[in-house]
Chains A and B, each alone.
Chain A
Amino acid sequence: MKIAVTSTGKTLDSQIDPRFGRAAFFIIIDTETMDYSVIENESVVAGSGAGVSSAKTVIDAGAKAVLTGNFGPNAHRTLQAAAIQLYNQLSGKVSDAVELFKNGKLNTSDEPNVNSHFGMDS
């Protein structure tokens, strides 16, 4: 299964980026093989709508689940429309979060947990 994790860096040892829409990178990981690719997030510099365009990026990358720190309302709505599983309030190393996910230790998030523009301040 392909999953996307928001990351501050380009490796599995990088820290999870707490922001979804304005995450520095998306790491797309195949949970069976642990092969991964890195997408630099162009929405970091978007004037507005970063949550929506970031969601579109991970949808198009084929991810079926997203692991991050926080989802705003627009990102949440877009990802849910694509029936992607959402996990938030994660921090620490990307690889650790992936392990927790693989072991079924994470709970899905049914609601956005921050307001619009949260990622603009952090």
Chain B
Amino acid sequence: MSQSYVIAIASGKGGTGKTTIAVNLAAYCARSNSKVQYLDCDVEEPNGHIFLKPKINIKKDVTVQIPQVDSEKCIGCGKCGKICRFSAIVHIKDNKVLTFEQLCHSCGGCIRVCPTDAIRPKKLKIGDIEIGQSDNLDFVQGKLNIGNIRTPSLIKEVKTQIKKDYLSIIDVPPGTSCSVVEAVKGTDFVILVTEPTPFGLNDLKLAVGLVKKMKLPFAVAINRDGLGNDQVEKYCRTENIDIALKLPDDRAIARAYSTGQLILDQHEKSFSNLFKFVKNIRSKRYAKR
């Protein structure tokens, strides 16, 4: 297992256990002396650090570029406002142009269309990335500033930290929005965590739709198995989707979670099986090349 491999732990529904599975899988790999890296891309509320307790060595600002208008140079043509799909820049009249940094997506369109070079990029801090170590596990997390909505931009920065020759485990934000697309983009495999309930199944189907559209190989992990009904398993059978892990509905897990503890000691077998599953798909991938 020396080649790079990036696995994303995602879910349509929130609160299904992405972080529980991601941190325990990462810790299991580290215990097995694999070169492993955990990257928390759930940048609006990163919480993997609570369980992995890393020592942070490096902290970096993450910035995006937003437009700054020089009214001396502006001729009031209004082209900047017309090209902006997000109304982040608007021409009022004459050389009066307003910008709204919280609406800007940093596409740079306004800067390009300005005929007089009156618009220049300006840096805006949106959050941080923190890099550290937890035993022999590499730890990276993104932290988006509160109130900021530039989630995908920050996730992109976190993913620049993916190391070569490592197994990289990405903790993805919940749902099926842009930030999820950004987090799973370019990964080698996605594990979709769900719970065996009607809500879990509904949101799993949405997530399956997303990864299929992105042509990413994937499998399902069922958390809190034993709860609810068997519809998730039936769905996976019908759709020919592998089930990589079934983690039982166990009060001890909830107890461990609530105090920031890993559950490897109680459920080592589950994670050793999941690790084998990952090893297997990884070697298949490299056999194909």
Contacts and interface: CB of A to CB of B under 8 A. Distances in A.
A59 B93 contact: yes
A49 B86 contact: yes
A56 interface: yes
Contacts of A47: 86
B87 A81 contact: no
Contacts of A78: 90, 92, 98
Given A52-B87, A56-B81, A74 B92 contact: no
A48 B103 contact: yes
B100 interface: yes
A42 B39 CA distance: 41
B205 interface: no
A74 B100 contact: yes
A46 B87 contact: yes
B98 A77 contact: yes
B191 interface: no
A77 to B, nearest CB: 7
A82 to B, nearest CB: 5
Most buried by A among B86, B87, B90, B100: B87
Contact of A59 (B86, B88, B92): B92
B6 to A, nearest CB: 30
Q: What interface size band does chain B fall in? A: 10 to 19
B86 A48 contact: yes
A74 B91 CA distance: 14
In this complex, which of B90, B93, B100, B103 has the most chain A Cβ atoms within 10 angstroms of its Cβ?
B90
Contacts of B100: 49, 52, 74
Interface in B89-117: 90-93, 96, 98, 100, 103
Contacts of B103: 48-49, 52, 74
A51 B100 CA distance: 11
A55 B100 CA distance: 13
Contacts of B81: 56
A32 B199 CA distance: 58
A55 B86 contact: no
A71 to B, nearest CB: 15
Interface in B58-100: 81, 86-88, 90-93, 96, 98, 100
A88 interface: no
Contacts of A8: none
A53 interface: yes
Interface of A: 46-53, 55-56, 59, 74, 77-78, 81-82
Interface of B: 81, 86-88, 90-93, 96, 98, 100, 103
17 contacts: A48-B86, A48-B103, A49-B87, A49-B100, A49-B103, A50-B87, A51-B87, A52-B88, A52-B98, A52-B100, A53-B87, A56-B87, A59-B93, A74-B87, A78-B90, A81-B96, A82-B96
